[in-house]
């Protein structure tokens, strides 16, 4: 950064508001697609694990290995095959959500006390009804907790997709680094932190609203 330059030049900020808004939108869209796709895949995997519990170990092993690969490295491993594209970004982002989501969806389902499950079966619930009316509603708090972690993690990872040219707030950060100009860099960094905190708070709120019975036991 140039000597004496303030961290934020407000003129620049105000004249670039539409640009900043577009970056926020891109960031949210990339996050939304990743969480949506990740949840669908994780849900299907969790149902498979519910049917055949022996699948749990291999599924968490594979998703765990993916989770261990650093984000920039995973994107870079994909680039030679899928290019600098949104596909590359989303394959990486979705794979990172899987470990967290599968663990929490399975954990949510398994958190239902066996006597509750037995009673439901005794009352003639089918497997499908047991899942939708008993296991998923009772496991919802744990499942949403997983979604929270996945959302917050993904917001952070989406900044890295800016490096591979997929927009979002990371693009502002990269612009700041490349032009040696603090303002876009600080705005991109601060907004991505704010976005993570705001969405985390929103999901806590949603979780309390949809699972009011957990409030009594929450400290």
Partner 1 sequence: MDFVLAVIAWLAAPEHWTGSDGIPNRVAEHLLISGLTAIAAVLLALPIGVLFGHSGKGGFIAINVANLGRAMPSLALLALMLPIALSLKLGLGFWPTFFALVPLGIPPVLTNSYVAVREVDRDVVEAARGMGLREGQVLRQVELPIAAPLIIAGVRNSAVAIVATATLGALVAGGGLGRYIVDGLARQEYPRLFVGALLVAVLSIIVEVAFSVFERLAVSSGLRLATAATDVHIQERPR
* By the rule CB under 8 A, 86 interacts with partner 1: no
* By the rule CB under 8 A, 204 interacts with partner 1: no
* By the rule CB under 8 A, 175 interacts with partner 1: no
Q: Please report how close the Cβ of residue 209 comes to partner 1 at its closest, in angstroms.
A: 20
Number of residues that bind partner 1 (CB under 8 A): 51
| Rg over CA atoms, the chain | 21
Residue 100 makes CB contacts below 8 A (sequence gap 6+) with: 67, 146, 149, 150, 153
* By the rule CB under 8 A, 9 interacts with partner 1: no
Nearer to partner 1, 6 or 126 (CB): 6
Residue 24 CA, chain-centre distance (Å), reads 16
Distances (CA, A) of 8 to 13, 174, 186: 8, 16, 7
* By the rule CB under 8 A, 20 interacts with partner 1: no
Nearer to partner 1, 38 or 170 (CB): 170
Residue 120 makes CB contacts below 8 A (sequence gap 6+) with: 129, 130, 133, 134
Q: Show contacts of 52-58: CB within 8 Å, 24+ apart.
A: 56/106
| Contact window for partner 1 (CB under 8 A) among 45-53, 110-118, 133-141, 191-199 | 191-199
Q: Please report how close the Cβ of residue 53 comes to partner 1 at its closest, in angstroms.
A: 14
Q: Please report how close the Cβ of residue 43 comes to partner 1 at its closest, in angstroms.
A: 19
Contact with partner 1 (CB under 8 A) among 42, 91, 144, 182:
182
Sign of CA dihedral 117, 123, 126, 129: negative
Which residues between 101 and 130 bind partner 1 (CB under 8 A)? 103
Could you write out the DSSP letters of every residue in 12-78? HHHHTHHHHHHHHHHHHHHHHHHHHHHHHHHHHHHHHHHH-GGGHHHHHHHHHHHHHS-HHHHHHHH
Binding site for partner 1 (CB under 8 A): 1, 7, 60, 64-65, 67-77, 79-81, 96, 99-100, 103, 149, 152-153, 155-157, 159-160, 162-164, 169-170, 173-174, 176-177, 182, 185-186, 188-190, 192-193, 196-197, 200
């Amino acid at each position: 950064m140039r000597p004496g330059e303030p961290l934020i030049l407000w003129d620049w900020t105000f004249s670039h508001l539409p640009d900043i808004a577009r970056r926020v939108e891109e960031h949210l869209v990339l996050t939304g697609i990743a969480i949506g796709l990740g949840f669908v895949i994780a849900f299907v995997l969790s149902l498979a694990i519910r049917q055949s519990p022996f699948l749990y170990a291999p599924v968490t092993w594979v998703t765990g290995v993916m989770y261990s690969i650093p984000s920039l490295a995973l994107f870079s491993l994909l680039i030679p095959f899928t290019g600098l594209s949104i596909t590359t970004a989303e394959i990486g982002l979705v794979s990172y959500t899987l470990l967290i989501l599968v663990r929490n969806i399975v954990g949510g389902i398994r958190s239902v006390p066996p006597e509750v499950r037995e009673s439901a079966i005794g009352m003639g619930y089918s497997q499908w009804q047991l899942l939708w009316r008993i296991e998923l509603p009772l496991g919802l708090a744990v499942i949403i907790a997983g979604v929270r972690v996945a959302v917050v993690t993904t917001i952070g990872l989406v900044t890295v997709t800016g490096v591979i040219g997929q927009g979002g707030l990371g693009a502002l950060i990269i612009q700041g680094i490349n032009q040696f100009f603090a303002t876009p860099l600080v705005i991109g960094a601060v907004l991505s932190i704010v976005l993570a905190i705001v969405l985390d708070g929103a999901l806590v709120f949603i979780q309390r609203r949809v699972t009011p019975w957990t409030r009594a036991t929450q400290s």
